[in-house]
Structures are given as structure tokens and as C-alpha cells.
Amino acid sequence: MDSVLKENGFIKSFDQSEIYYESRGEGSPMIFCYGVGCLFNHWLPQIRYFSKNHQTIMFDYRGHHKTPTPQNKQSLTIDSLAKDLIALCKHHNLTQVDFVGHSFGSQVLESAYALRPDLFKTMTFVNGLYRNPFEALASREAVVEVINQAKKLYNQAPGLFSYAWEKGVTNPLLVPLSALTGGFNLSKTALKDIEIYARGVSTIDFRVFITFFEEMIEFQGESLLSQIQCPTLIICGSKDALTPIDEQERMKQLIPNSELYVVPYGSHCTQLDFPEMVNLKIQNFIGTKGQLTDTRPNV
């Protein structure tokens, strides 16, 4: 990555919020959107690979890492993140982009497509979401109750709760638990990547994390998926309990021009488990689908 063109900085979004981004390489643009509470490290193998021949761009969500939390807390929404993504494209004068989203990042892409479908050359979902990912594991009411209890504890003692949040996530004894919660494959993903993830989560204000977490479970994207007309690749891991294969197959059924690729033994972070396999699949997909006749809808 040392030999490629690098750029980083802040853009002003639709509401004047500052959004941090990093760009690597030159060529046909690709934008990567990570999951809730995640960080750039989740895309490191992809950035190293694709920046050799593409301009690869990542950005930090509101309240994540180098992007500050906006003064207006009401703007901590998926819709705002979608508008941030559109502002990022405008800043770089991009008109046709290959977008890649992981987990919650797929919800961001779905929302952005609804606003500006003309920007989308292709779209790739890696273990993508389009609705509450916990429906198969627990009732919505149970998940909401856990969230409400956590918020109650925070309101009662914000300082103590924030300290416990930071120290608990990064406790070496709890890193394996953090790994499982984050969907990592412990037999494939390097421990350092899991530790970086845990440290990254710990730096995010609990109020920001829980707000976006609520947005994630309340999101209803079935109608959005049925509107997608750009070529779409769906990648999932066969061992992903959070976004299981049947959910990914449902996404394929809902998106007219899509294809599904299942990675054997992949977890919820398939792009880290088997980066070479995922990179080649995405490269072949955008290399063929991106050359097809323009199928963008009129806007």
C-alpha cells in the first residue's frame, strides 16, 4: 500500500457535519462501508488488494473513530449515513461507483441507493443485512428489552457504565467473547484483528453505538431490495449465525439482478476469514458486470 496514492481528510456533509475519509489508489472508484461499531481494519485485506488498480475509499460513520459525534443527536440515523455517503461521492466528483458493504454497511448502501441509484455501478453485500439480524436468535421484544436495560444502567451511572464499557470490551479474558459477538471465525481470523476490533468498539461512545444498534434492528429493507436494479453480488459465510444462508437467499430473491456466493466455513466477517477468495470474487464480479450495458434507472 506504500506505493499507491493516499489521501485523507474531512468533508462537509448535508448538515455541515464533518465526515472523515481515506482514499487509496487510482482508477475506477470503489467505496467500502463497514459494520456498526467497526473500523477501517475490517477492510484492510480488500484495500491492499483493490487499491493497486482502483481508487478505494472508506469513511468513518458519525461518532465512529475520527468522525466526531454531531451536535444534533437526532442525525444519528442510517438515512444520515446514506446522505454522508452521497456527499462523499460529490466531494470526489464520482458518478459511477462499485460499492461494497459489510453487515450494517449493507443497510447504509440500501438507503443510499433509494436516494441516488444513479451513483451505483455495482453493489456487493458481504454478510449483508436488510432487517433485524436477531430475529432467528431471539424475539424482537427480547432484544429491545436488553437494549432498554443497558440504556437504563447508563442513565443511572453514565461515568461508571462508560468505564465498564471500555474496559469490559478490551479485557483480554473477554476478547474471545467479543470475537463471537462480532461474528469472527476464531480459527481463521488473526487475534490481532479481533483485538483491534475490540479496541475500536471501546472508543465509540456507548450512546452512539446503541443508537445505531437500534437503527439496525428497526430497519426494514425488503421494499428497498426489490427496487435495486444495478448488478448486485451477495457474499455470505456458511457458518454465519448472524446472517445465515437462508437470509442471504431471501436477499437474492428480492433483488432482481443479483447473484449469491457462499464461502464455505466463512463467519460473519468472511472478508477477513478468506480475503483472497472474497477479493477474487468481487474483482471478477465488478470486472464483468461493470462492463455491461448501463441499466441505471431514470431519476
pLDDT of residue 227: 95
Question: What's the pTM?
Answer: 0.85
Query: CATH classification of 6-133+221-289, choosing from 3.40.50.1820, 3.90.1150.10, 3.40.50.620, 3.30.360.10?
Result: 3.40.50.1820
List pLDDT tens digits, range 221-237: 999 999 999 999 999 99
pLDDT of residue 52: 95
pLDDT of residue 254: 96
Residue 123 scores a pLDDT above 50:
yes
d(CA 101, CA 228): 15
List pLDDT tens digits, range 187-208: 666 666 666 666 777 788 888 9
Which of the residue ranges 149-153, 174-178, 257-261 would you say has the lowest mean pLDDT?
174-178
pLDDT of residue 191: 60
Average pLDDT, stretch 97-124?
97
List pLDDT tens digits, range 17-63: 999 999 999 999 999 999 988 889 999 999 999 999 999 999 999 99
What is the percent of the chain where pLDDT is above 90? 60
Q: What does the mean pLDDT of the chain come to? A: 84
Average pLDDT, stretch 273-290?
92
pLDDT of residue 164: 54
pLDDT of residue 200: 73
List pLDDT tens digits, range 154-176: 566 566 555 455 555 555 544 45
Q: Given CA atoms 112, 142, 145, 236 in this order, what sign does their dihedral have?
A: negative
Residue 288 scores a pLDDT above 50:
yes
